[in-house]
């Protein structure tokens, strides 16, 4: 199947939705199949297990795989941002023969020490409580985290533009249901995710890892993955932090277009 005819399956980040991802990928002139992950958008999470007892990764992959089977998509390109990238890794490892190209944007493969996992679990459960008790003020606290520092003051864009994007993101997320946000935060906790590094490398899938040059943590992850496998290419996008597709959309789409058409 030629690249232009291969459906592009898109998976959004935490508190995002499929329609938003489809909108940002529209410039690729591809058929985009976007999903609302459990706890997000119009997706119903009531049938999923108690997130405190079981992670939601397998259940999410099962849902997506079922839709792909019903739609008759034998082979796809797959792109995921942050949380969506982590789900995309699980999906790619489950069915590598169906993935032509994989794009991961600012996504964690789950390579954490036991101490890091314990600390992350404590942090994520605390955030889950905060979402419900402090909504919507907690949204401002969320974007105050170091990983989103590029939205505050980087010197690459005017402070007015940075504040505008931050305010836009908060406004977009404010329509979410805090109880669903809390459940998803725990259900998709990276502390419950297996280390997918070796499985990703062994999958044989050509992969592009996109990070923002201002996001040192995820830039380092991309560099490590590229050093481990000749099938994984890392591209750092200038002037962008964690949310590459929103902070430098032109360069982001250019990177994806070049990779997906190769």
User: So what's the pLDDT on residue 207?
Assistant: 98
**Tens of pLDDT, residues 66-122:** 999 999 999 999 999 999 999 999 999 999 999 999 999 999 999 999 999 999 999
Query: What does the pLDDT read at residue 2?
Result: 61
Residue 152 has pLDDT above 90, yes or no: no
DSSP 3-state of 43:
coil
Q: Please give the pLDDT value at position 46.
A: 85
Specify the pTM: 0.94
For the chain, the domains span 3-260
Please answer whether residues 37 and 83 qualify as being in contact, where contact means their C-beta atoms are separated by less than 8 angstroms.
yes
Q: CA torsion angle for 49, 64, 135, 243 (degrees, to 10)?
A: 140
3 state SS of 76: strand
Instruction: CATH number for 3-260: choose from 1.10.3720.10, 3.40.50.720, 3.40.50.2300, 3.40.50.1820.
Output: 3.40.50.1820
Q: What is the SS3 assignment for 209?
A: strand
């Amino acid at each position: 199947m030629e690249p232009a005819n291969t459906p592009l399956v898109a998976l959004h980040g935490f508190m995002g939705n499929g329609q938003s991802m489809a909108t940002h990928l529209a410039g690729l002139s591809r058929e985009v199949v976007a999903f609302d992950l459990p706890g997000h958008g119009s997706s119903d999470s009531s049938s999923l297990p108690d997130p405190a007892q079981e992670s939601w990764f397998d259940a999410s992959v099962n849902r997506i795989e079922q839709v792909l089977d019903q739609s008759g998509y034998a082979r796809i390109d797959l792109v995921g941002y942050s949380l969506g990238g982590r789900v995309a890794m699980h999906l790619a490892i489950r069915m590598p023969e169906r993935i032509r190209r994989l794009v991961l944007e600012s996504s964690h493969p789950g390579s954490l020490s036991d101490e890091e996992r314990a600390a992350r679990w404590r942090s994520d459960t605390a955030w889950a409580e905060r979402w419900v008790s402090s909504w919507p003020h907690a949204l401002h606290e969320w974007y105050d985290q170091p990983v989103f520092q590029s939205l505050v003051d980087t010197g690459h864009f005017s402070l007015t533009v940075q504040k505008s994007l931050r305010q836009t993101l908060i406004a977009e997320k404010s329509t979410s249901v805090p109880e669903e946000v809390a459940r998803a935060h725990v259900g998709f906790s990276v502390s419950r995710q297996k280390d997918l590094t070796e499985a990703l490398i062994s999958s044989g899938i050509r992969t592009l890892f996109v990070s923002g040059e201002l996001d040192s943590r995820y830039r380092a992850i991309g560099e490590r993955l590229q050093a481990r496998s000749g099938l994984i290419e890392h591209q750092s996008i200038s002037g962008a932090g964690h949310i590459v597709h929103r902070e430098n959309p032109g360069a982001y789409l250019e990177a994806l277009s070049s990779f997906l058409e190769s």
